[in-house]
Structure 1
């Protein structure tokens, strides 16, 4: 699906003014193509494309609590809720919503505050690997959960920047996740629970007291980078203690997640070049503690990037390093392998068909 920016701007002119007035959402009147019915839809556990969407009951110990009871129509009545509804209709990587009502949701802050939640996630991942491959290396399970978690703030921020030129709060308290309850336990839905956001001066919602206005796109990109890095820093502190993964590896994974998600935000709706442009806008230089600028580039086959972190898929039986694994670059420095479509941890190194 190709993004029609005129639709985005027209939608802003409606929902932004409604939000400032405290009115209701009129998103239903905007000409955004709707997504096919997802009820009962799932993807193969070994398919690297995105994440499966499941409606089965949750797994005890992780994401089985209800977060509030805000109705969907209330969530959509805000400017940010309307933005998320439009983005949700434009891509199918994650369900994106402003409401975490219903079972199986868990706030990111709860995941980071209570080690038992991470332990439960590792246990589910380990069992899935064992069921799928007959072995479950501990480092592989740790790396998969690491990458899956970091995509929560990365994709929420990247998608809102790409589609709406808005940057939400990415604090752990303001994000929630729902994991797939069948097969691979990766995130299937992300909720952005804060109401405020940063935007550009032409955004009709800029007069809302809950918004902050950036002078231009470069400043807005810096806000996204700072908010994401703040969330990632809290994750690094927690995961370093709980998961026995080094700080450099964690920050390399955080860099990969942000660069990947900025790229994917465009590619997921047919505007890959604009996604690449956002990645180079947000990561135009090294910004410590992130480990590199955007590594996106082209070869004869199109856009690809060089990963900074390893997913340890090669530890699984019969598996080798992924095409863009940094281990290959260290082993053969004359080779600079590109990672064209690292959806992983994907366990199959498959390319998406989109």
Structure 2
């Protein structure tokens, strides 16, 4: 758990641009509350604290397992590990994906610059907070040239920066979480690929911009660029909606055999 006093003070002048961006994207969605600075209240966890203590993931899985046992009667290790893996990776991916798609800004997603709020009932993230004012943007951005802002030449460079910053955070997670579970590198990085691709998809879908979101996903994940396991798998499915094929499995089917995700790699063919 973290406390507001841990974060460095941020003056109104320093927080203006990124705080406004976060407020705008927060108003477009309801999956995770999005904040600048650490809100008051319990349940907030700094990502760097989690990654410094592998046991915190074990505790998270134990609490989740108790909920799954109450709901389904069982809580296989692969299911609790799959849920926690996907949920944690969604924190940096979601924030970065929404800011990239709607604002053409890429924040710092270093573990010490992110915190998330864990719901005590469902044991899943319900909020994310950015704790640093730094971000990158394009030359046309009104924030270009102001303190804490890095300007990159074009959208390809901005997409590469997003991909690199997320990969750096995901690497820390894989190195910490990987030894605690029976997942190989392919599964762990498949989940990271899913988190990034899905976040860009949601950023457009919830705003009625699926086509542009798919273009952004292809810009960020144009190929299977190591350590990611594939290019974006977003594609039309014959209706106004789009779909994608997951690279990893959440193992929900182990507790709910009749509940199959539409994007599950066990049932959704490649291509």
TM-score by length of 1: 0.71
Larger Rg computed on CA atoms: 1
- 2:127 corresponding residue in structure 1: 189
Aligned equivalents of 2:37, 2:263: Cα separation in 1: 36
Which of 258, 265, 271 pairs up with 1:319? 258
Q: CA RMSD in A?
A: 2.1
Q: After alignment, is 245-254 or 293-302 more displaced? A: 293-302
2:232 matches 1:305:
no
For residues 195-344 of structure 1, the aligned pairs below 5 Å read 195-301=133-239, 302-319=241-258, 321-328=260-267, 336=269
Distance 1:317 1:205, change over 3 A: closer
- 2:105 corresponding residue in structure 1: 166
| SS of residue matched to 2:267 | helix
* 1:27-78 Cα deviation digits (max 9, x unpaired): xxxxxxxxxxxxxxxxxxxxxxxxxxxxxxxxxxxx3x42337799959942
2:90 matches 1:151:
yes
- 1:19 corresponding residue in structure 2: none
- 1:66 corresponding residue in structure 2: 3
Counting matched residue pairs gives: 268
* 1:186-226 Cα deviation digits (max 9, x unpaired): 11100011111000001111111311111011110000000
Where in structure 1 do 4 or more consecutive aligned residues deviate above 6 Å? 69-73
Q: Is the 8 A contact 1:75 1:81 kept in 2?
A: no
Aligned equivalents of 1:314, 1:83: Cα separation in 2: 38
Aligned equivalents of 1:178, 1:75: Cα separation in 2: 26
Q: Is the 8 A contact 2:159 2:219 kept in 1?
A: yes
| SS of residue matched to 2:147 | coil
| SS of residue matched to 1:311 | coil
Aligned equivalents of 2:12, 2:203: Cα separation in 1: 26
| SS of residue matched to 1:215 | coil
Deviation at 1:149, TM superposition (A): 0.4
- Structure 1 unaligned residues grouped into runs of 5+: 1-62, 330-335, 339-354
| SS of residue matched to 1:78 | helix
- 2:38 corresponding residue in structure 1: 100
* 1:79-118 Cα deviation digits (max 9, x unpaired): 1111111111121111111111322211101111112321
| SS of residue matched to 2:207 | coil
Aligned equivalents of 2:14, 2:75: Cα separation in 1: 41
